[in-house]
Chain A
Amino acid sequence: MKTKIALLILFISGNLFAQEQKMTEAEIASFKQDVNVVAKKIKTLSTDFVQYKHLDFLSKDIETSGKMVFKEPSLLQWQYKKPYNYSIVFKNGKILINDEGKKSAVDIGNSKIFARINKLIIGSVSGNMFDDKEFTISYFKLKGQNLAKFIPKDATLKKYIKQIELTFDKEEATVVQVKLLESSEDYTRIVLKNKVINAKIDDSVFTN
């Protein structure tokens, strides 16, 4: 099964030659420490992102893009700017949505999964996600990058997300890509770029 999944991932990413090598225990420990050291320094983070929704039956991935802003301890905003304006804020345990000016609280369909993804993304910048009781985690090396794969333990979550993959830049030890694989062989891939760490970000950014 493991090899099957690994093969599938290779095919899906269309990246047969990017060798994915399992980390040794020592490498895992050092990778975790690197991420932790950097994460501890992060007070704020803002980054542009491009999201690719891949569905097997479509001829092209659906591409949307925008900006993500994070502020300690748990303020997070995802803002889609193209091709539409849609922003979602995680704040004090609430999820606020602004859909082209139309404001609301989160839909039931999103909340659970969103909350967990949110926790994972925040976890990956704050450095405590590797102790998460909710996932079985495996670690790999790529060229210039590290890869952590999270398989949900919870059966309900597993129905929607088969696996979450976080790719880290080796030098900076921060997340550069988030990939969410659904139970069928479809996935969402989010590429983070133009990262700015510890710029002053006002709390008012997180109103929607």
Chain B
Amino acid sequence: MPPRKPRSTSFLRISQFLYLFLTVLLFYLLILSRTGETQTVWQVLHPAFVPTLFVTTYLLLTIIFTSEKTTNKLFFIMIHSILIHSLFSIIFPAGDLSGQQMILGRTRRVFDNTILHGFSGWPTATIQVFIVELFIGTNLQAALSTIFARTLSIDILYVHLFFIPVLWGMFIPVASFLTAKVMGLGEKASVLSSLLVSAFPYTIYFGAISVPNSLGFIFFFYSLYLMLRHLSTSDSRTTHWMLIFSFFSFLSHYLTGIMSFSLLFLTLAFKVYEGEKKPSPINARILLMVSFVVCVSLLPLSFIYMRFIVSNSQAVFTLDKFYELPFQEIIGLFFLGELVHGFDLKTILLVIVGPALAFLWMIYQLYRLKRNLNDKFRIHICFLFTAFLIILVDYRILKLFMSGLPLNEERLWVFNDFIAAPFVALAIYEVVSSIKAFLKARSPPTLSIATLKAIRERSKALSKGDIFRVVGLFFSGLLFTVGVLSPLFLAGWMTASLSASYPQVAPLQTTWYELEAVKYIEENTHEKYVVIGDIWTIFAGERIVGINNPKAYYFGEYSKIGHDLFVNMSRDPSPQWMLWSMNYTNTKVAYFIVTEPRLGTEEFNGILSKAKESGLQVYGRPEGFGNGKLYVFSYGEE
């Protein structure tokens, strides 16, 4: 007779099967939610998605706390991570209306072979600019996306949309797991850390958009893991890979690169400190403090130095905010950063709860390790705490003492979230384990239904033993409640974080009729052409023909000429501006696109009647695209 499978294994298999089934269902619900005209994912998301996600996450958490193989658990977490980072890519026809579409516009040019030597964002005036252009992250991402698209033989759009969600989903949970492991966390707590890295709203957002900064974050997290490993080993291979990952994080994006180099410096300082702390403890401490100051100043100073290299950087140190803003707002900015500006309490709590819990737990860990100076993981905790502090201080410097930065300072939160995830996992795991151990010690080893009945029957005259049993029953009940409630609470937290990570308010995303019009122009124009349109039209154009394409010219997103042309055309829709744009871009045909939902009905109708009066021809469909929501006017040879 074959040996019977233990019941727990069967339950585990059923849970896993159910989990996979629900994940497939969730992807299906996302596909059902796909739309060509919406502002946010929340307006069109299938009503069953959030409850199903909650149940799926709960199941995943129960699987995590079983004795299943770690690799299987990580595999399930990867699927979960890819799912929650794919909302933009599946629901919107061109992904989120943000930087990722600008990157797509540049990658499209590389994919369509309409550009040589990579994408240059501005004319190479000096050797410094040429070097910067070489290293801008757009080029690395464009090269990778293009190679993937050619290997898969699919359009660049699909590779671009899923590039970061898939890479993030695959590699960030693993990096979080490895970081937790190298800090000395147990297997289950480390797996929990790999899941909890998806509980931080801003981190989820960056994992959902395909921009070079997100690619840089992935490499940064691995360099952080290798830095921690480097602290406890002298293996040369670890050192080499730590440097390689830091270099790639720089190649992807300067922000992640600078942070990597900053923490690399800190790693070396900690390494020296470890060697020096016994022979000369004062020198070692001074070295550590100086290193801290250097690491903190690296990022702000690099923004200042960027002004000498890149013309579009205007970063300066300033006290303007202290003079201009009210005192309460300064205090708010200091503690909460950008969250003081119009975010609701739920979002604020969801954004700060993880890092705040991690920060408190770090302090608690440091306090605990004070009594155990020889703990081999002490240096890791100290290093991560210092790194966390560096990022906290840097954020405040950028937010309060600088202006004209080329990016929003909140991106620094992602670094802190990466560091926070293992500590949050550790805190939750230790607290739940302690409560469970406490309750277990006070519960009877077995509690049968018969015992319960006996207690009920004899409840009128309880003996000493019965009282003991009742108390035991109470603790067993609590134990069961903690066992059920803790995954419920975590699943609830993670699901709620999702609502804070995808914007609740946004402009109308690229619509199906904008894409249709742009595609129609591209397919039916055989001469070089230029398109005059608002920034939303440019985003749609980026998806189809890319940006600044000499054969199908769309002005840059922030091009003043492009903007002025559109404003002039809106006020006076006459052929003169179209002729001017054709001469300027050396093209034979000019198109002017107006869209009703972007302009408002009154302005839209006004432009339409003026354009028709001035003799401009309606192009493509006389009734307009999207049931009359979008009109294209043309001028020139076709």
Q: Do A and B bind each other?
A: no
Could you list which residues of chain B lie within 8 angstroms of chain A, going by C-beta atoms?
none
Could you list which residues of chain A lie within 8 angstroms of chain B, going by C-beta atoms?
none
